C-alpha cells in the first residue's frame, strides 16, 4: 500500500527537499504541499492524505492548531500527523501531542530516519524517541500530587494496565514491554489497545501525556509509579 504524504512547511526549500526524499521511496507518494497550517487542513480534505509531515511554526495557522482541527474532523480521523520542530527541546511539542500529533522529529533527522518515521506513524504507532520526549514532558508538565496508595494511575485501569501504561510513557514498544513484564508481544499489544480504548486516546503519544498528567509517571523519576 502506498502511503499518501502531505508536506506542510512554510519554507519552500525544506518542502522541496522532503518531497524529493519521500518520492524516492517506493512505498510513498507526495499528494500535496502546503505553506500554512490552514492550507494543510484544506489539502488533507481534498487529497485524502494518509499522513501529514507538519512543521510546528507556520503563518496563518500554526501546525498545532492545524493538527487540532484535523483531530476534531470526523472525516479526517484517519489522517496521522508527524510533527517537525527545529529543536527537540521545543516546549510546543507537548501541545502538539495533546492536539493529536502521533509523534515528532527534529528537522536535522537523517533521511532514512524520516522515511522510517513516516512508515511507523502511518502504520498506527506513535513515534516518541524516549530520551528527548520524556525529558521534555517532564520539564513542561507540572508535577501532580503523588497518587494515593492503590491509585497509581487513571481510574478504571487494572494494576497490570497501569504497569503497561507506565512503560509506554517511558517510550518502550510492545516487544520491550512484553520482555520487561514477562508477557508475549501479542498480550502486550492487547493491553495497550485496551488502555487506549478505556482512556479514549488516539494513539501511544496521547497515552504518554495521560501517564504524566495523571501522576502515574512522575517527572524526573525513572519508571514512574
Please tell me the distance from the alpha carbon of residue 157 to that of residue 197, in angstroms, as a whole number: 11
**How far separated are the first and last CA of the chain, in Å rounded?**
40
Q: For residue 49, what pLDDT band results from cuts at 50, 70 and 90?
A: very high
- pLDDT tens, 100-128? 888 888 888 889 988 988 998 888 776 65
| pLDDT at 137 (0 to 100) | 61
Cα–Cα nearest to 94, from 217, 222, 208: 208
| pLDDT at 59 (0 to 100) | 84
Sign (positive/negative) of CA torsion 163, 169, 171, 173? positive
Q: For residues 224 and 152, is the Cβ–Cβ distance under 8 A?
A: no
Q: For residues 214 and 145, is the Cβ–Cβ distance under 8 A?
A: no
- pLDDT tens, 58-102? 888 999 999 999 988 888 878 999 988 776 656 677 788 788 888
pLDDT value at 130 more than 60: no
- pLDDT tens, 168-197? 887 788 888 999 999 999 999 999 999 989
Residue with cell 485501569: 157
Amino acid at each position: 500500500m502506498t502511503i499518501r504524504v502531505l508536506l506542510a512547511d512554510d519554507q519552500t526549500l525544506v518542502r522541496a527537499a522532503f518531497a524529493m526524499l519521500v518520492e524516492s521511496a517506493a512505498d510513498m507518494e507526495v499528494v500535496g504541499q502546503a505553506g500554512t497550517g490552514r492550507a494543510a487542513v484544506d489539502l488533507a480534505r481534498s487529497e485524502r492524505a494518509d499522513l501529514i509531515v507538519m512543521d510546528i511554526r507556520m503563518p496563518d495557522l500554526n501546525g498545532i492548531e492545524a493538527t487540532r482541527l484535523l483531530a476534531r474532523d470526523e472525516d479526517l480521523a484517519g489522517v496521522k500527523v508527524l510533527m517537525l520542530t527545529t529543536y527537540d527541546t521545543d516546549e510546543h511539542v507537548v501541545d502538539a501531542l495533546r492536539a493529536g500529533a502521533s509523534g515528532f522529529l527534529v528537522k536535522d533527522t537523517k533521511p532514512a530516519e524520516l522515511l522510517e518515521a513516516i512508515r511507523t506513524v502511518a502504520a498506527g504507532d506513535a513515534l516518541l524517541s524516549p530520551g528527548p520526549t520524556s525529558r521534555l514532558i517532564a520539564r513542561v508538565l507540572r508535577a501532580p500530587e503523588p497518587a494515593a496508595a492503590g491509585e497509581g494511575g487513571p481510574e478504571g485501569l487494572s494494576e497490570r494496565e497501569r504497569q503497561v501504561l507506565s512503560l509506554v510513557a517511558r517510550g518502550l514498544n510492545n516487544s520491550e514491554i512484553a520482555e520487561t513484564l514477562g508477557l508475549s508481544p501479542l498480550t502486550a499489544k492487547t493491553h495497550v489497545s485496551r488502555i487506549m480504548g478505556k482512556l479514549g486516546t488516539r494513539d501511544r503519544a496521547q497515552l504518554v501525556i495521560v501517564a504524566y498528567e495523571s501522576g502515574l509517571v512522575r517527572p524526573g523519576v525513572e519508571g514512574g509509579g
